[in-house]
Structure 1
Amino acid sequence: MTAETRGAPTPFAPAAAGTVTVYRGATVIDGTGSAPRPATTVVVDGERIVAVAPDAAAAVPVDAEVVDLAGHWLIPGLIDSHQHVATPPNRPVAEAVLRRDLLGGVTATRDMADDLRQVADLARASLVGEIAAPDLHYAALMAGPSFFDDPRTWQVSQGVVPGSVPWMQAVAPDTDLPLAVALARGTFATAIKVYANLPGETVAAITAEAHRQGVPVWAHAAVFPATPSQVIASGVDSVSHVTLLVHEAARRELTSYRDKPPIDFDRFTGGDDPLMRALFQDMRRRGTILDATASMWARIAADAQAEGDDDLHGLAVRNADMAAALTAQAHREGVALATGTDSDPDPDAEWPPLHDELVFLAERCGIPVLDVLRSATLVGAQSIGAERDMGSVEPGKLANLAVLAADPLTDLGAALRSIRLTVKRGHRHERGAGVVGHAPVPVPAARKEAAV
């Protein structure tokens, strides 16, 4: 070859090293749970934060671009720790949803199993800046062979046999687990997700082999027949869906994902439950993160009510109440909470569903807003193993930031919907004309600084 062919345009590429931007005058909520810091400057060089200091003490480099954030609040970019962007694959819808989420302050997303042929390319396109989207960290799925009659597995394995592909593997007693984990790693997945229809000893064996190969494991809180306590004891790094934890109290043995036993809703909404306390204490000791998806049933209830489905509405309301009670108890027991949504992609929605999860945690679960923001940022980064690079406003970390025009400690929902600017890897994404169908909003002005 005598010439290199240019690839696709990268209009949203990370900022280049040596490009210095200074964000001055904001009240910074850094994501660590610390109190807000008014009149604070954040200095960004390329895609990294290099300094965070009071305005009066901050040095502004010559020729830096200065963004005046007086009267604004600056928080870390939000992280949705439970999404599915390609079930079934639909590239235009996925790109629209990811762009909407980014402009709503979401700078990273944990994709919990999809058609990884498409998700991997979306992740690459986001990382290099071909598309405006959060960074994507995704899982390769493992489940028992009986799970693969689920139509969703067909949707994400089109052209091949479900359960036989590296991103979605059926695990049987004779499965070569070292090879299965190596195949999953070959998809460039961040983690393995253990989904359903596996006994506790198999969940433990998958987890041990994955950890031996340096791969985290994300699991459903009950894997059926594996119980919640067996899943947690296996050493998985995170568990999803707080309402699945109640199956620890099942009055019969768990069998399969589709055959869930009845739930005593009154028991789990009536106050702190001793059996749940034991689970939560074990999670806290082990450092197991809870991806609660707490608001999921509230969303289902609202949809069912709109569609006139009274039976589903009633069931969803009871599950939403239980999710609120259990998530609040988990927080009181010191469990690390991540903020996932598990919502179907809806490009017509104006705001990311993650906003609803945060408001649910604050208003329905009674969790302090600073803790909610920490869950949506630093704990979210921990859930994808990326806390060295993201999740808080600190020197050395990626410049993943969201700028709000209202105080989140006063009204979290209103503040999230006051977002003016998202910064991802140092690249500014202004919320204005880029949001199709919605009126532009003013963004903070930038200027060149002439002197130190």
Structure 2
Amino acid sequence: MTQTAIVGGTLVDVRTGKTTANTTVLTDGERIAEVGPADRVRAPAGAKEVDARGGWLIPGLTDMHAHVRSPGLLPVYLAFGVTTVRDPGGSLTRSVLLRRDVAEGRRIGPRMFIAGPILDGIPPLWPEMTLLVDTVERAEAAVRFLAAQEVDFIKVYNSVPERSLDAIVRTAHKLKLRVTGHVPRSLTMTRAIEIGMDGLEHVRVTGREMLSPEEAAKLDYLPVRRREAMLWERFDLSSPKFTALVERIAKKSVFLDPTFVVDAAPVRTDEERERAERMDGLPDWIAETIRPARAARDAADPNRVMEQPQDVMELGRSGLRKRQQFIRMCAEAGVRLVTGTDFTGLGDDLPGRGVQQELGYLVECGLTPLAALRASTITAAAALGKEREMGAIERGKLADILVLDKDPLAEVRNIAAIRAVVHGGRATTPAELLAAPPPEPETPYAR
């Protein structure tokens, strides 16, 4: 087995925030074998040594909302510190086989947790990657089918009827699968939580939860960008209804994935957009892969979900700020937050780098850098049901570790200063991961 010694770094305990200088981490195969003072923990003969002196050691990051549509970009996630991704919707066969390729070492990339196709009612927003669950019978059958295909979780979408959602959750939980997704537009977030959803993607509070029936009827089924701008203009975060909602999310231990990266993209100024999408210093092959993928995505989107109508642009920006206030309320109440980007479903940042941006948004909400880091490590691991396997630098856990040149607890954006990436016990550098596009495996399905 491969052995690696990460020598002399300052260990960040993401549970407590405690830092321990001059720490060495030994890995044996894909797991952490020992963690301790560098003068006590010695590298065995033949182990690969990673010099972490003067640096900081944190667990690898997690993108909890990453639509993996360009397999060639998987190493880019690692280069930007993301060692685990959760794919909440796409081709079932491709997702299953990509996950297997990565797990068996045929592809370099982050660990993958997959949902396969999303479950939606009528009308489905993305029919080409949807299983229709407009009846209870179809809902139960869809979950059983996906479980047989060994997906890791279930993703629900906008038009799922209430009875179908109840059937999905009951069936999934019997089969030991968690359910996350959008709050169906015909329901409230509170009702979705009561039915038993384990996670919520995006910050999608419906009008029927907070407004009069007349106002909600006018707004809840508008196109997403107009709808969200107009809803959040009307929402009163100081109202008892919002207080009760936050308390309910916390009490039910629901995982909330705000995906600020994707909500911020449509309301950016031209300067902000150019800065976010900049690829300065990166190899040409990355831009040559990403730009056609974005163009194909946009051309295939009849819903224009990333276009912010100009007449509600300012409302969209103020709505984003109110959503950040809502997330601050959630954090203060103990809601379990995770980090997701929606790349390349809707997000426009680079794979992996979007998680760094999302951490910055969480700090803007009022979270400390440590609290933001937890969202992408130990809390993400808990949301995946893998808290015993990953999310912290501890003996026996998977050896997914970043060596940073700057202190992430002083400034969360220091997470971008990556010296080395250890993934499954194998050490590499961002430069090595980005040097050239990875070779395609012989299997034709992945092309």
Q: Is 1:77 equivalent to 2:60 in the alignment?
A: yes
Within the candidate set 80, 97, 106, 1:121 is matched to 97
Aligned AA (2:424): R
CA distance in 2, matches of 1:27, 1:390: 19
Distance 1:351 1:303, change over 3 A: farther
2:388 — aligned with what? 388
Deviation by residue 1:344-402 (Cα, 9 ceiling, x = unmatched): 3689948621110001111x201011111110111111222222211111111100111
Deviations 1:259-312 (A, max 9, x none): 8587453565x7544322212222222211111112322222226675997446
What is the distance in 2 between the residues matched to 1:174 and 1:298?
36
The answer for the alignment partner of 1:302 in structure 2 is 268
Q: 1:131 to 1:315 in 2, by over 3 A?
A: farther
- Within a 5 Å distance, the mapping from 1:290-369 to structure 2 comes to 290-302=256-268, 310-311=310-311, 313-344=313-344, 349=350, 352-362=353-363, 364-369=364-369
Which residue matches 1:427? 426
Partner of 1:55: 38
Number of aligned residue pairs: 396
Alignment equivalent of 2:133, drawn from 171, 175, 197: 171
SS in structure 1 of the partner of residue 341 of structure 2? coil
Aligned partner of 2:442 in structure 1 is: none
Tell me, yes or no, if the aligned pair for 2:200 and 2:255 is still in contact at 8 Å: yes
Residues 2-45 of structure 1 deviation map (CA, whole Å, 9 limit, x = unaligned)? xxxxxxxxxxxxxx3xx322212111113324322221111111
* Corresponding residue of 1:198: 160
Matching of residues 107-118 of structure 1 within 5 Å:
107-118=83-94
1:283 matched to 2:245: no
Give the distance between the partners of 2:10 and 2:344, measured in 1 at CA: 34
Any residues of structure 2 matched to 1:143-162 within 5 Å, and which?
143-148=119-124, 150=125, 152-154=126-128, 156=129
Relative to structure 1, is the Cα distance of residues 311 and 72 closer, same or farther in structure 2, using a 3 angstrom cutoff? farther
Q: Which amino acid aligns with 1:153?
A: P
CA deviations 1:208-244 (Å, max 9, x no partner) are: 1110111111121x21112111101111111111243
For residues 365 and 400 of structure 2, what CA distance do their matches in structure 1 show?
Answer: 27
Report Cα offsets for 1:133-164 as digits up to 9, x if no partner: 1111111445444133x3x322x4xxxxxxxx
Report the alpha carbon displacement of residue 436 of structure 1 after superposing the two structures with TM.
4.5
Any idea what SS the aligned residue of 2:122 has?
Answer: helix
CA distance in 2, matches of 1:264, 1:32: 36
Match of 1:442 in 2: none
Distance 1:208 1:309 in 2: 39
Question: Any idea what SS the aligned residue of 2:39 has?
Answer: helix
Cα deviation digits, residues 71-99 of structure 1 (max 9, x gap):
0111101000112123xxxxxxx124322
Instruction: Call closer, same or farther: CA 1:405–1:354 in 2, change over 3 Å.
Output: same
- Unmatched tracts of structure 1, length 5 or more: 1-15, 87-93, 157-167, 439-452
2:381/2:390 contact within 8 Å kept: yes
Q: What's 2:50 paired with?
A: 67
TM-score normalized with structure 1 length: 0.80
Aligned residues: CA RMSD: 2.8
Aligned residue for 1:370, secondary structure, equals helix
Bigger fraction of residues in helix: 2
The question of whether the paired residues in 1 share the 8 Å contact of 2:24 and 2:38 is answered with: yes
Residue number among 223, 240, 265 corresponding to 1:274 in the alignment: 240
* CA distance in structure 1 between the partners assigned to 2:164 and 2:335 by the alignment: 25
Deviations, residues 172-231 of structure 1 (Å, cap 9, x unaligned) = 2352544322101123211111112123333122101110111111121x2111211110
Partner SS state of residue 434, structure 1: helix
Q: What is the correspondence of 1:20-99 to structure 2 with a 5 Å cutoff? A: 20-86=3-69, 94-99=70-75
* Preserved contact between residue 107 and residue 400 of structure 1 (Cα < 8 Å): yes
Among all aligned residue pairs of Structure 1 and Structure 2, give the percentage whose two residues are the same amino acid. 29
- Is 1:265 equivalent to 2:232 in the alignment? yes
Q: 1:274 to 1:263 in 2, by over 3 A?
A: farther
Provide closer, same or farther for how the CA distance between residues 102 and 433 of structure 1 changes in structure 2, counting only shifts above 3 A.
closer
